[in-house]
Amino acid sequence: MQEVSFSYLDELNDIQRQAVSCLEGPVMVIAGPGSGKTRVLTYRVAHLINNGVAPWNILTLTFTNKAAKEMKSRIEKVVGSSANKVWAGTFHSIFARILRVEAHRIGYPNDFTIYDTDDSKSVIKEIIKSMNLDPKVYNNNAIRSRISSAKSNLITPKNYVKNEELMNYDKMNRRPMTHVIYEKYVNKCLRAGAMDFDDLLLQMFRLLYQNPDNVKQKYQSQFRYLLVDEFQDTNYLQYEIIKQLVFYEGSDKNVCIVGDDAQSIYSFRGATIENILQFERDFPSVNTFKLEQNYRSTSYIVNAANEVINYNKKQIEKKIWTERLEGQKIKLIRTMTDNEEGKRVADTIIEQKNRYNLQNKEIAILYRTNAQSRVFEEHLRRFNIAYRIYGGLSFYQRKEIKDLLAYLRLTANPKDNEAFKRVINYPKRGIGNTTVSKLLQIGEEHEMSLMEVVMSVDIQARAKTKILGFVKLIQSLRQKAEQSNAYDVAVYAARKSGIIDLLKSDTSVEGQGRLENLNALLDSIKEFVENDELEAGEEATDKSLSQFLQTITLMTDQDNEEEGNDNVTLMSTHAAKGLEFKSVFVVGLEENLFPSFMALSNPNQIEEERRLFYVALTRAEEHLTLSYANSRYQFGQMRFNDPSRFLEEISEDNIDNISIMKSSGPGKSSSGRSGFGEPKLLGNFKRLAPTKTNLALQMDPKDFKVSPASSIKEGMNVLHLKFGKGVVKSVDNRNVATIYFSGVRDTPEKRIMLQYAKLQIIEDDA
């Protein structure tokens, strides 16, 4: 392909320019935090178009609709309106669009419903109940997670039964019928003409794999250039779909992945770091470009992040650097209690706002678990500091919104059982749960949807007339949908169903709020209908009801976030990925919390926790504050934790320690306890050298066997993977043990809750 000179290339540094200009063959861009990843990705698409590639031959996959929209906007600034013809969107939205055209080839209707999490849970709950299984043992969330994991790993119900490891795991967890629930769940979704989020990937793979000569070849030919953003967040199934699209005879394998292995933090969602680590093996001719210059953060922050991530073994070698040499050292706060930690953070926010003229929206508090937000909320309220909790209840999860959407879903797809159940008696029309249960039973016996049951089976029920009235209502909505756009159908449904009249009759503040929410939904549908922006790969926008329902169902948390309000942001570290703030507080940096106690026995999980900490550090542009408390309430009990091991991995060159604030009088902390006096510098901790008394550092973690907490008694010798050999001095009535670890130089006596301690009892001569 002949390259031409384009002025936008002058905006890039050397390595960015090389990544943008290498247009043919497989390309891997390793993009460190704040290195201009989005610019490289968008300019690469623009450069393809300017070098003669048709925009509709380009497919760009992202993880949020917001990212795709921003990307198309940036491309448009370079190449003009042709950017609208680029296929850019999330994995789920792009594959849903393709399945809308091709789903009939794999046994689904093209107007299939997309089940959200609540819908999936409802179906699973119904199956568990019908099988007379104990819902406490067959926990709904656990079963759903199991099914999701199976789908993400391309394991169908038939293959699930054949997998000895999966079956043994279920037996061990007293859930041997999981495979039956999985099979019933798949069949129920198929009968309802519905796909859940995982199905949008699994069925896309099936579509390509089972139709190699028509469908797969069609999309391979169309998408000549494939680009994937945040590749480190892909799961096994997503990577397999990518391979289906790019691996074929005569292909140039024009696939470009952009990502950072050091920011792979979503294994709990099924993402695997192995995808990016093995990409060079799968594509031996790949050209690799490493974006190592950080434009976001100061040198102290960048240096600390490098120091931390270097402790990980599984990584692609790189060295992030910055020319921003100015800035403040990293602040460190140590407090006695989590309550005091909340006050200290609020105090420091006020100080930073006054000293550096920061706005609230330029400040974020990041924590490992959402439960930690409470103490920070309390103290921010006391100081009258406006804040928001990122990732709260989504607008589309509110009851009144889901009620009207259920009518619209049933209008688009009458087989949608979950929507049917939600509104068959809302507003109340005298159809009780007993009647619905009978309908469900008939549906199971005849393998029919609820709508098919009430339309074709003679129902012996007192509510028969009312049920038929409901059917006529849905039929009238479907007739309206054939002639009108999504907004007109929604207004008609809101009125004809009686929902608007019902909400109007509730004159309470809450009732009026629900009515306002419903009007806001109608406004959003109006905006959808009147918006002329083109969707990915579309020649003309689709204003149908099905398209609107798909659009809102596939929205991510970040797409729903409102901007513009001046609030301090409180969020989990996982949710912060991709964001940046002038000042960041990373709180709760204690062993058993960050890193999580669930990760301590698994080296791979510890590495992911370290990557999560790396993400937290690199969200900060100018000010970074790290804090921890010596004690906090967790699970209803006081726990005493040591500082996080990750603090040890930052050298003292980058840390400016803060002494404990004694705001409650001389020698007292804000909690009323005695202060620490002169604080110790927590940078550059030295790991203990292996000695006879420090057995833990000499042994292979695989040989370490955790003893039952109930068997640990006073006077016993125990082994801890971090602290080494210790002697149990006492165990109190709260099951908190005082243990003396002879190999620990600083505070050898530790108070540890045995429930979470992970100790191994050893013989005296060990």
Q: Which of 18, 38, 558, 755 is catalytic?
A: 38
546 Cβ partners below 8 Å, 6+ apart?
100, 111, 412, 413
SS3 175: coil
Distance of CA 117 to the CA centre of its chain: 13
Nearest one of 203, 219, 216 to 152, comparing CA atoms: 203
Taking each continuous run of H as one helix and of E as one strand, the counts in the chain are 31, 21
The pair of three-digit structure tokens given for residue 333, joined into one six-digit string: 């706060």
Give the up-direction half-sphere exposure of residue 327: CA atoms within 13 A in the CB hemisphere: 25
Q: Which of 102, 229, 341, 403 is catalytic?
A: 229
Identify the H or E element spanning 528: helix 509-530
Residue whose entry in the numeric block shows the structure tokens 């103490």: 375
SS3 387: strand
d(CA 699, CA 743): 15
Pairing of strands 330-337, 363-367: unpaired
The DSSP code sequence of 256-309 is EEEE-GGG---GGGTB-THHHHTHHHHSTT-EEEEE-B-SSS-HHHHHHHHHHH
Is 38 one of the annotated active-site residues of the chain?
A: yes
456 Cβ partners below 8 Å, 6+ apart?
448
Is 483 one of the annotated active-site residues of the chain?
A: no
SS (H, E, C) 589-641: CECEECCEHHHCCCHHHHHHHHHHHHHHHCCEEEEEEEEEEEEEEECCEEEEC
The pair of three-digit structure tokens given for residue 44, joined into one six-digit string: 């690469």
Give the neighbor-by-neighbor strand order of the sheet with 724-731. 749-753, 736-741, 724-731, 717-720, 760-762
d(CA 233, CA 682): 33
d(CA 219, CA 244): 10
Q: Which of 422, 619, 725, 750 is catalytic?
A: 619
Is 230 one of the annotated active-site residues of the chain?
A: yes
Q: What is the DSSP letter of 367?
A: E
CA distances from 178 to 123, 142, 145, 165, 203 (A): 14, 10, 11, 13, 21
Q: Which of 119, 170, 230, 608 is catalytic?
A: 230
Is 39 one of the annotated active-site residues of the chain?
A: no
Pairing of strands 287-291, 113-115: unpaired
Q: Which of 90, 263, 337, 573 is catalytic?
A: 263
Nearest one of 361, 502, 489 to 426, comparing CA atoms: 502
357 — alpha (psi -120 to 50), left (phi > 0) or beta?
Answer: left
Do 408 and 489 contact (CB within 8 A), yes or no?
yes
Q: Which of 16, 17, 37, 322 is catalytic?
A: 37
Q: Is 591 buried (19+), middle (13-18) or exposed (0-12) by CB count in 10 A?
A: buried
Would you please indicate which residues are annotated as catalytic (active-site) residues? Answer: 37-38, 229-230, 263, 619
